[in-house]
Amino acid sequence: MNKTVNQRAWFMVLPVLLLVAFSAVLPLMTVVNYSMQDTFGNNVFFWAGLEWFEDALRSERLQNAFGRQLMFSGIILAIEVPLGVFVALNMPKKGVWSSLVLVLMALPLLIPWNVVGTIWQIFGRVDIGLLGHAVAAMGIDYNYTQDVTSAWVTIIVMDVWHWTSLVALLAYAGLRSIPEAYYQAAKIDQASRWAVFRFIELPKMMGVLLIAILLRFMDSFMIYTEPFVVTGGGPGNATTLLSIDLVKMATGQFDLGPAAAFSLIYFLVILLMSWVFYTVMTNLDKRDAK
Amino acid sequence: MAKITLDALAHSYSKKPSGPGDYALKPMQHEWADGSAYALLGPSGCGKSTLLNIISGLLRPSEGRVLFGETDVTDLPTAQRNIAQVFQFPVVYDTMTVYDNLAFPLRNAGRDAGYVDARVKAIADMIGLTHRLPRKARGLGADEKQKISLGRGMVREDVNAILFDEPLTVIDPHMKWELRTQLKTLHRDFGHTMIYVTHDQTEAQTLTEQVVVMHDGEVVQMGPPVELFERPAHTFVGYFIGSPGMNVLPARVAGHVAHLGGVEIALSRRYAPAEGVEIGVRPEFVTLSEGGAGLPVKVLRVEDVGRHKIVRAEHEGRPVNAVVSEDAPIPAMADRMSFAPEAVNVYAGGWIVDGESAS
């Protein structure tokens, strides 16, 4: 094909460039600006160079929050992905039940984050919450405001409750796209249930599943509202995930410089992780095509 | 390996069939001999795939039973029937190599590695995929994928039957011949019961000794190709098999004569007098003449198809065809057709009427 060269076409993207500049680039640059300066108030700023970044990288507080964050994302992925796939495999394939189950599954996804947090905050309370009271009545030492394990279990169960549906619905969509002939061939070939899953269902679900993992990873890595509403990052700093720590630093302590450096590192980490995911995903595709 | 019995078998997709029209398969009683090859021939939607899926157990018949040998397998799931089936469109396990694809049914059956290896290599050689064995099945072309499907169907030696559902549709013509020959060899060597669904009459006739013609949910005739050709049991068989199909003309019969309007056609058998029947005669048994006795026709055109010519004509608006050998002259003003008496069959309501042989 012959392409005509027309430099004026650049003007066509100008509106988008402007929009993106105002909505993303300029705010980001403000943060970059803060991250390299220091102030003692009165709107007087001093050049600080990379000092805040060095501090942040060396700071034990940030490292701990990062560790907790990785643990949180790791645990919820390890639970939600297999559970979501399991649920999808057992969802009815057609009929009224299928629609009903789809609606039920979608419900948790429609609830706003802070409402989910509030629900679980109350649900888990030992004094008035159904869950908390029941668990405590069974003789289990459960109190998410004082006990680290209880707090972690609560925010993980809450996330699983909120987001497993997403994985399940995506996996379900992947499963529905498998032609009946594959199942028939597997029956003819006397394949076991496990072999059907391993060689038919899993390969066909792989694409949507990777998207589900990427979405859940990014989302959980940035999670703020739900654990904040339930535990407020406590007890102590036990559930202070990266976002919670960042907000504490930026608007609680008003340490704008360190917080700005922190958020840039945070941003770069997410970018890096997403890039790794993307590369792995596309390479899996390529490898399979060979 | 086993004889397959279809006992009072019928299938309807609707829960409460109210009439014959609701049946995808009309009640049938058949016994298919162990080790024979059958071709199920019929147009799309005649129920041949339904029948195949019932035999393999992918579909449970709404009425009747399926028996392998003496065992009732009607309620047995597919996996326990030990049967192989190849579908019309390729089904391969994308993430597996070609080798693993072929080995899959054997491994599921718990065969040891040495046997699996020998068998896979033999099959790969047969379908011409030896050089592809180590690569992933994903990304292969449709015909290579279909060869894998075929190979997977043939890899087990101990199956009760191998069912083919138009397996060569996506294969290119040159390879079709080769694979057809391979299938014949396979059948000769191993003696599996083979059921081969197709809508291609040439394929049906070259591949198997028994052709089962299906029409509108029933088996209209079952027999060797030559019988289908010479004595179609139903006008549909006459029309569907042969190119062009059998000429069918409304007539009245009495004794040794059929009357078409004012024309008398000689019959080789004797029939009880009947009105509103049809006579059928293959174009191969029609001769053309100029004037004289015979059925008056108007020749429309002559098609030269290589080894013979097809004369398309009509009698009172109904098409009548004749097949004339390439070197035989066609009279320039041909306007009569006569039929070889022993090739004329009589049909009532579509079904053949048995006449008494001339004595």
> Residue B78 and residue A188: Cβ atoms within 8 Å?
yes
> Residue B104 and residue A191: Cβ atoms within 8 Å?
yes
Q: Provide, as residue numbers in chain B, all residues whose Cβ is less than 8 Å from the Cβ of A288.
A: 94-95, 136, 138-139
Q: Nearest by CB to A195, from B58, B108, B139: name it.
A: B108
The Cα of A192 is separated from the nearest Cα of chain B by a number of Å equal to 7
| Mean pLDDT on B110-127 | 88
Count other C-beta atoms under 10 Å from residue B124's C-beta. Answer: 21
Q: Does B130 touch chain A (CB under 8 A)?
A: no
Name the pLDDT band for A285 (thresholds 50, 70, 90).
low
Question: Cβ neighbours of residue A184 under 8 Å, at least 6 residues apart?
Answer: B53, B58, B78, B85, B87, B91
Q: Nearest by CB to B139, from A188, A192, A289: name it.
A: A289
Residue A76, pLDDT above cutoff 90: yes
Q: Provide, as residue numbers in chain B, all residues whose Cβ is less than 8 Å from the Cβ of A191.
A: 79, 104, 108
Mean pLDDT of chain B: 85
d(CA B157, CA B76): 21
Q: What is the pLDDT at residue B254? A: 86
| Mean pLDDT on B81-107 | 89
Q: Provide, as residue numbers in chain B, all residues whose Cβ is less than 8 Å from the Cβ of A185.
A: 85, 87, 91, 149, 152
How does DSSP classify residue A5?
P
d(CA B131, CA B31): 41
Q: What is the pLDDT at residue B209? A: 82
Q: Provide, as residue numbers in chain A, all residues whose Cβ is less than 8 Å from the Cβ of B149.
A: 185
Given a contact cutoff of 8 angstroms between Cβ atoms, the answer to whether B159 and B83 are in contact is: yes
Instruction: Give the Å distances, CA to CA, from B286 to A214, A259, B291.
Output: 74, 99, 15
In a domain, residue A93? The reply is yes
Name the pLDDT band for A169 (thresholds 50, 70, 90).
very high
B84-86/B161-165 β-pairing: parallel
Q: Provide, as residue numbers in chain B, all residues whose Cβ is less than 8 Å from the Cβ of A290.
A: 135-136, 139
Given a contact cutoff of 8 angstroms between Cβ atoms, the answer to whether B39 and B204 are in contact is: yes
d(CA B137, CA B337): 58
Residue with tokens 């629609």: A99
On the question of a common fold for B4-240 and B247-357, the answer reads: no
| Mean pLDDT on A219-224 | 88
Total beta-carbon pairs less than 8 A apart between chain A and chain B? 62
> Residue A195 and residue B57: Cβ atoms within 8 Å?
no
- For residue range B196-206, list pLDDT tens digits in order: 998 888 888 88
Residue A113, pLDDT above cutoff 70: yes
d(CA B4, CA B36): 10
In a domain, residue A37? The reply is no
Alpha helices in B191-224 (DSSP H): 201-207
In a domain, residue A5? The reply is no
- For residue range B237-293, list pLDDT tens digits in order: 988 888 888 999 888 888 888 888 788 888 888 888 888 888 899 998 988 888 777
In a domain, residue A267? The reply is yes
State percent of chain B over pLDDT 70. 99
Residue A267, pLDDT above cutoff 70: yes
Q: Provide, as residue numbers in chain A, all residues whose Cβ is less than 8 Å from the Cβ of B77.
A: 187
Nearest CA in chain A to B138: A289
Q: What is the pLDDT at residue A274? A: 84
> Residue B109 and residue A289: Cβ atoms within 8 Å?
no
Contacts with A, B 23-62, CB within 8 Å: 53, 56-58
> Residue A191 and residue B58: Cβ atoms within 8 Å?
no
pTM score, whole prediction: 0.78
- The domain locations on chain B are 4-240, 247-357
Closest of B219, B246, B218 to residue B232, by C-alpha: B246
| Domain at A272, CATH number | 1.10.3720.10
> Residue B95 and residue A288: Cβ atoms within 8 Å?
yes
Q: What is the pLDDT at residue B359? A: 46
Instruction: Tell me the fold of B4-240.
Output: Rossmann fold (3.40.50)
Residue among B52, B82, B86, B108 with most chain A CBs within 10 A, to mutate:
B108
Q: Report angle CA A216, A223, A147 to the nearest 5 degrees.
A: 110
Give the number of residues written for chain A. 290
Given a contact cutoff of 8 angstroms between Cβ atoms, the answer to whether B126 and B182 are in contact is: yes
- As for how many domains chain A has, the answer is 1
| Mean pLDDT on B146-173 | 86
> Residue B89 and residue A290: Cβ atoms within 8 Å?
no
> Residue B82 and residue A187: Cβ atoms within 8 Å?
no
Q: Does B134 touch chain A (CB under 8 A)?
A: no
Q: Quote the domain boundaries for residue A146.
A: 61-289
3-state secondary structure of A209: helix
| Mean pLDDT on B187-195 | 83
Cα Rg, chain B, nearest whole Å:
24
Bridge partners, residue B263, by sequence: B260
In a domain, residue A142? The reply is yes
Contacts with B, A 98-157, CB within 8 Å: none
d(CA B81, CA B2): 11
Residue B231, pLDDT above cutoff 80: yes
Q: What is the pLDDT at residue A263? A: 87
In a domain, residue A124? The reply is yes
Q: Provide, as residue numbers in chain A, all residues whose Cβ is less than 8 Å from the Cβ of B95.
A: 199, 203, 288
Residue with tokens 């922190």: A262
Q: Nearest by CB to B91, from A181, A288, A290: name it.
A: A181
Name the pLDDT band for A161 (thresholds 50, 70, 90).
very high
Q: Nearest by CB to B139, from A192, A200, A290: name it.
A: A290
Q: Does A195 touch chain B (CB under 8 A)?
A: yes
In a domain, residue A53? The reply is no
Residue among B60, B111, B123, B138 with most chain A CBs within 10 A, to mutate:
B138
d(CA A287, CA B142): 20
Residue among A184, A190, A284 with most chain B CBs within 10 A, to mutate:
A190
**Domain B247-357 belongs in CATH node 3.30.70.580:** no
Closest of B231, B156, B149, B217 to residue B186, by C-alpha: B156
In a domain, residue A184? The reply is yes
